[in-house]
Structure 1
């Protein structure tokens, strides 16, 4: 009997075992490096989630440039993962590499600003429409700092998030709805206090729940991606953000748009494209072309409230910022990315090719009669194991099948194509070609044929 995905579990299991053997046989160098790393790296990798790809051992990378990378065994890959958006504009963009190289000769970090800081502020304000900006090393830090600022500016303690959200490793967001009950996520290691005391969680697209939560008058900010992307894509219903923004503003809460992933929409992000007016705007990974850095912007009125809160606070560390925040290399990278990489021409190519990819995926789903759907947000495309795009995090989570994801990702990997390990997300960068997309579609079609027609090879 087929699973809800339309794939028979026995066929899926057999094919996964075959692909795992194929992977191991072709990568002796990566396997040797994995064994070597095991001696001193926990789980044999720099970060434990690097083992989440569904491979028998980690894939070790030797070189990455544009839309491609090469592994330690010399295999070449077309990359549709792109560092899960960290390299959304391709690996090592020329302008960023040149800017970082130039700056490296003049110092890495001084804890003082340079001319790049002034120029970056101008560029951010011009592009995103918010007049004031601050910096962080990651979107996680930016979200954490924004939550502090929001609490300080409003005098309120609670944060509202959407079920299944992802905003990095900010503790406050690790709360889910389990059968309608706010529940601290069990995967969060070492958590010793109850997050539900200060975090409110509701379903995305649920205006009734949002209105009820805001009525308590204790929400400092609503932290949200304009489109949920990490539980699988969850698109906002028509007018959801228009209504939600009005409710949030009327309740005296602040709207924080985390656009680290939805910057795929266009050069100024989802908020600008769809007329959202957030109080805070957060952008991480892609803003420096892959160099670790993040930014957050805010309104002039909010800037005054933030300055007042800081002036009223006792002297000492605010809990906001780190020593390496806005270091010289990061500022050079951000400037180069904004001036030369995140261009209208780049987005025109990326979005157009993503549309071609989305159509091709829909054609494959129809060809093999699978109960799957395809969603697209600019340069970001995703296929999900449900017949219609999910409207909530709960629906998106129910559609997932991690074993099938692992199989499809590994099948593609064994044939020179990388997609993100956590769900079926595909990114197009400026260097991705039509031929790259056709290779992906052809190879995925081969996998689906093997899964749905057992006699196929």
Structure 2
């Protein structure tokens, strides 16, 4: 084991180790590298989505196939997948129930801008599972959040959306913010685009009761848009009683509470909301809800629905209905999405499968903690439901400011590159692991072996 390096030496060593891992990646992925070069000729940022460029190898792997909890690339390499499409693949890749439902519906038509009989079952199941009586389907959680925000502004007459610093709620403009020098600024890596975010957003630190109460008492906030615990800036646990405090203060100030469970839906069949008895006005989810077919959902409470109907009444069959609400999309709630959503809710995201997923997340977290303790490392592991995360700081962060102050981004990138070379995929934006029904204990144990090798690499080079 090498003597531990100074801070400046450490940064240089990590850079050198990353360069070596990226070279190892290039040497073993010639076809992916060639395809990446071709893709850059026709795509604005190299791939069909600019998110695809953010993997740590220097270029992304190009996927040949994916099944269960494994991905195979065009270079013939197989990976254990704990990223699962950053939650979009939480049902596992190509689950049989979704595949069969999709194929059957493809033969009967994918989209007509008309409802199908399956939609009745889906609506009833959503109400039963998540506790909201009225639902709207969208093509993504981003669209669901946008629609929810528009409803909130419509019924409150207020403009601002309160979010927590470091949050992520898809492509929602109002959520592209964090606290910078005590003011509203754009969150990490989002480029300015001419919008004055201070006019549409108010941002406070997560778990900060005083700042939240002060903001809501101003009477300017239409809604609070939040995760019940933060998952996209590193996993930030919610402080005891904070969710209940948010609910109390939003009710006192006439502010609508939106809980976005796109990630935390991995807590169980009813999401974090059902598991912990929360009471949102609007419940949002997406990504995995239709087994990887693009889809989002938002459910609305009885009380809020009555307020919305006062603004825009129920259908009057004697009048032509125009697009009063300003949300939606031609493909929202299409027959293919509804069919696959039914398959997911009835056959995949079940209590039995969540029990397996959560057990594997607990197994991964426990094994990682043992390695951290054995090697006396100043790191920690957070696990909630079927999701876990390793963070390179001694204690779980309380808020976004803690993440900014303690995050070791260079070490995260090195870990991601090393993991890919060892046949493991994790969320490329931070070190978060997600289980699907097909994840096995053996795959979790493979991660433990690779994590031990990563620790040894750092020790041999004096990084830790």
Q: TM-score, normalised by structure 2?
A: 0.94
CA distance in 1, matches of 2:418, 2:187: 31
Q: Which runs of 5+ in 1 are unaligned?
A: none
Question: Displacement of 1:187 after TM fit?
Answer: 4.2
CA deviation profile, 1:36-66 (whole Å, cap 9, x unmatched): 2122112321112211112122210000011
Q: Match of 1:55, SS?
A: coil
CA deviation profile, 1:260-313 (whole Å, cap 9, x unmatched): 00011111000111111000000100100111001100111111111222249x
CA deviation profile, 1:236-280 (whole Å, cap 9, x unmatched): 111111122111111111110000000111110001111110000
- Give the 5 Å matches for 1:101-250: 101-185=103-187, 187-189=189-191, 191-250=193-252
Indicate conservation of the 8 Å contact 1:161/1:173, yes or no: yes
Q: Match of 1:91, SS?
A: coil
| Cα 1:127–1:2 shift into 2, 3 Å | farther
| Cα 1:363–1:53 shift into 2, 3 Å | same
CA distance in 1, matches of 2:39, 2:186: 33
1:419 counterpart = 2:421? no
CA distance in 2, matches of 1:194, 1:455: 46
The match for 1:257 is: 259
The match for 2:317 is: none
Q: Match of 1:42, SS?
A: coil
Q: Match of 1:371, SS?
A: coil
The match for 2:351 is: 344
Indicate conservation of the 8 Å contact 1:69/1:76, yes or no: yes
Question: Displacement of 1:317 after TM fit?
Answer: 5.0
Indicate conservation of the 8 Å contact 1:231/1:397, yes or no: no
Q: Match of 2:312, SS?
A: helix
The match for 1:447 is: 454
Question: Displacement of 1:68 after TM fit?
Answer: 0.3
The Cα RMSD (Å) is: 1.9
CA distance in 1, matches of 2:190, 2:334: 30
- Give the 5 Å matches for 1:10-409: 10-185=12-187, 187-189=189-191, 191-311=193-313, 316=323, 318-409=325-416
Higher mean displacement: 98-107 or 397-406: 397-406
| Cα 1:338–1:453 shift into 2, 3 Å | same
Indicate conservation of the 8 Å contact 2:368/2:448, yes or no: yes
CA distance in 1, matches of 2:185, 2:381: 30
Question: Displacement of 1:379 after TM fit?
Answer: 0.5
Q: Match of 1:432, SS?
A: coil
The match for 1:431 is: 438
Q: Match of 1:44, SS?
A: coil
Q: TM-score, normalised by structure 1?
A: 0.96
Indicate conservation of the 8 Å contact 2:281/2:301, yes or no: yes
Q: Which runs of 5+ in 2 are unaligned?
A: 315-320
